[in-house]
């Protein structure tokens, strides 16, 4: 489809300016004032008084994630639809093999599971053990265009790595030219605390954050930064939640070490007061790392402003209340996770841009440009530039809404942002030149087909 967007204010990570945008064959063909294409466009969109952003890129989602409570409630179709309504047009999910399964086989399996995504997607690959073939498998994944590898320092009984294996992964990924992303929590210490609380009859969600206190994150961050420095491996620390963690990250960055960081809207906008109450009120907030204090949120906003934190993902992993109920007698059994992919942009615009915590350009950088750059598919995505994919969000600054589990588009019947008021919303979302969202409705669904992104 040939689309002409007239009179918008274009916002990229570095510029804010007025110009028309011409889209042709799924790409941005021209940008300039008063564009008059040779051929009449199939559609002309008047975007006067509207903003246009590059489509959001969520660097951290878990669609169709297997757990003891069943799969997370959004598969790739449901999750990508929710993402579109929120202005996100690309996702980075995860490949987590079973023990004994090769990374390559697990990748091929996961690609098939994602085929019903409405938007483009790619993966971080998770080594969950070290076998004789692991280094070769890492090289093969990089060769195939999957250059980031997720490791867990927590969840030792299932997918977490001990430090000796973690070092082997860091060395192998560095040698292959990739990046390690890390869930940084001290798993052994957390397991001891969790088990201690249960033995004492402390079974409620209230004890979830107490079993994962801030030092279990910040010490893990410090530890893995030191290991990555020895291995000379680029490091990306996911879902940073505590005020102490950015201190270690900043110190490493000042020394010139390649350390990057991500946080999530829930760590910026919620705090641990939500764990006060009965199971029905509190279980939906069981996610890891847990929500912390208001002072932690303020420190994270400051770290974003200083450029210590480069991206904002969602860790989107929603579950229904029925699934959460599996842990009603043992908080350890509550499936960890919550939804957020639909609300990331509206929340950050309302509580970041409109409160002057971040600028419009920082907003775009955090939610689109930096994920594309760090994970190797910029400028195909993450920018509004001639030749880039026409993944665009036309933003109406005048729309006010209230977040509700009754009206959201994810599949779960829970929403951790229930009742939040937002200002500003995607009015039109364009995916590779196809109008996907228009005035609150999914459009052209039959034409939307997410593609696998292979990265540099």
pLDDT 10s digits, 328-387: 999 999 999 999 999 999 999 999 999 999 999 999 999 999 999 999 999 999 999 999
H/E segment holding residue 281: helix 279-282
In the chain, where the domains are located: 3-53+388-397+422-447, 55-374
What value does the mean pLDDT take over residues 195-211? Answer: 98
Q: Could you tell me if 425 and 50 are in contact, meaning their C-beta atoms sit under 8 angstroms apart? A: no
Measured N-to-C along each axis, helices 245-254 and 214-231 cross at an angle, to the nearest 10 degrees, of: 20
What ranges make up the beta strands (E) of 39-97? 43-46, 51-54, 56-58, 88-95
Identify the pLDDT of residue 386: 98
Q: Which residues fall within 8 angstroms of residue 266, CB to CB, at 6 or more apart? A: 287, 291, 338, 340, 416, 417
- Residue 39: predicted pLDDT: 82
Measured CA to CA, the distance from residue 153 to residue 166 in angstroms comes to 8
Q: How many CA atoms lie within 13 A of 243 on its CB side?
A: 10
Domain 3-53+388-397+422-447: which topology?
A: Urease, subunit C; domain 1 (2.30.40)
Does pTM surpass 0.85? yes
Q: What is the pLDDT of residues 286-295, one digit of tens each?
A: 999 999 999 9
Mean pLDDT, the chain, as a whole number?
A: 97
Q: Where residue 25 falls among pLDDT bands split at 50, 70, 90?
A: very high
Q: How far apart are CA 190 and CA 181, in angstroms?
A: 20
pLDDT for the residue 352: 98
Return the ∠ at Cα 314 (arms to 403 and 336), rounded to 5°. Answer: 95
pLDDT at 90: 98
pLDDT at position 1 over 90: no
Pair of tokens at residue 241: 């939640």
Instruction: Report H helices in 144-278.
Output: 163-176, 187-199, 207-210, 214-231, 245-254, 265-269
Structure tokens that stand for 210 in this block: 């107490």
Q: What is the pLDDT of residues 104-146, one digit of tens each?
A: 999 999 999 999 999 999 999 999 999 999 999 999 999 999 9
Model confidence pLDDT, tens digit, residues 301-318: 999 999 999 999 999 999
Task: Look at the block and give the residue holding tokens 């960055």.
Answer: 253
CB 73 within 8 A of CB 320: yes
Percent of the chain exceeding pLDDT 70 equals 100
Please determine, for residue 455, whether its predicted confidence score (pLDDT) is greater than 90: yes
Could you tell me the two tokens for 49? 């008084």
Rounded mean pLDDT, 47-62: 98
User: Which residue's structure tokens are 């770290």?
Assistant: 303
pLDDT of residue 130: 98
The rounded distance, in Å, linking the Cα atoms of 247 and 242 is 10
Query: What pLDDT was estimated at residue 456?
Result: 87
| pLDDT level of residue 218 (50, 70, 90 thresholds) | very high
Q: Which residues contact 197 (CB under 8 A, 6 or more apart)?
A: 203, 207, 210, 211, 331
Q: Average pLDDT of 41-62?
A: 97
228/221 Cα distance (integer angstroms): 11
- Chain segment 383-442, per-residue pLDDT in tens: 999 999 999 999 999 999 999 999 999 999 999 999 999 999 999 999 999 999 999 999
Go through 351-375 and write b for each residue having 16 or more CB atoms within 10 A of its CB, e for each that does not. Answer: bbbeeebbebbbbbbbbbbbbbbbb
User: Where does the pLDDT of residue 220 fall: very low under 50, low under 70, confident under 90, or very high at 90 and above?
Assistant: very high
Q: Which CATH architecture has domain 55-374?
A: Alpha-Beta Barrel (3.20)
Paired strand residues for 74: none
Closest C-alpha to 83, from 379, 408, 412: 408
């Amino acid at each position: 489809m040939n689309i002409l967007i007239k009179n918008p204010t274009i916002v990229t990570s570095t510029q804010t300016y007025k110009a028309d945008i011409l889209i042709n064959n799924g790409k941005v063909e021209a940008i300039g004032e008063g564009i008059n294409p040779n051929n009449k466009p199939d559609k002309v969109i008047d975007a006067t008084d509207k903003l246009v952003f590059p489509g959001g890129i969520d660097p951290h989602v878990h669609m169709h994630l297997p757990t003891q409570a069943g799969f997370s409630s959004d598969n790739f179709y449901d999750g990508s639809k929710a993402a579109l309504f929120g202005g996100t047009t690309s996702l980075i999910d995860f490949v987590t093999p079973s023990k004994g399964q090769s990374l390559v086989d697990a990748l091929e399996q996961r690609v098939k599971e994602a085929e019903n995504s409405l938007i483009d997607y790619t993966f971080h690959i998770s080594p969950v053990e070290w076998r004789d073939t692991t280094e070769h498998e890492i090289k093969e994944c990089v060769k195939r265009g999957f250059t980031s590898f997720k490791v867990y320092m927590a969840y030792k009984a299932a997918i977490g790595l001990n430090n000796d294996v973690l070092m082997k992964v860091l060395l192998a990924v560095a040698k292959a030219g990739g990046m390690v992303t890390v869930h940084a929590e001290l798993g052994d210490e957390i397991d001891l605390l969790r088990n201690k609380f249960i033995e004492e009859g402390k079974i409620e969600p209230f004890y979830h954050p107490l079993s994962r206190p801030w030092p279990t994150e910040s010490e893990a961050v410090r530890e893995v930064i030191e290991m990555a420095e020895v291995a000379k491996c680029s490091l990306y620390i996911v879902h940073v939640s505590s005020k102490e963690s950015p201190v270690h990250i900043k110190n490493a960055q000042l020394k010139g070490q390649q350390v990057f960081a991500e946080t999530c809207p829930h760590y910026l906008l919620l705090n641990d007061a939500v764990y006060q109450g009965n199971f029905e009120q509190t279980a939906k907030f069981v996610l890891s790392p847990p929500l912390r204090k208001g002072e932690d949120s303020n420190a994270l906003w400051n770290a974003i402003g200083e450029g210590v934190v480069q991206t904002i993902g969602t860790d989107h992993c929603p579950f229904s209340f029925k699934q959460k109920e599996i842990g009603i007698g043992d908080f350890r059994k509550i499936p960890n996770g919550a939804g957020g992919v639909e609300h990331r942009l509206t929340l950050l615009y309302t509580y970041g841009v409109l409160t002057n915590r971040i600028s419009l350009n920082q907003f775009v950088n955090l939610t689109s440009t930096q994920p594309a750059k760090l994970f190797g598919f910029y400028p195909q995505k993450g920018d509004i530039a001639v030749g880039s994919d026409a993944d665009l969000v036309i933003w109406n600054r005048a729309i006010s809404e209230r977040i509700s589990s009754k009206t959201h588009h994810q599949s779960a019947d829970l929403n951790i942002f229930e009742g939040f008021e937002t200002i500003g919303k995607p009015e039109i979302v364009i995916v590779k030149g196809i109008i996907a969202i228009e005035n609150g409705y999914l459009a052209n669904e039959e034409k939307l087909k997410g593609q696998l992104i292979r990265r540099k």
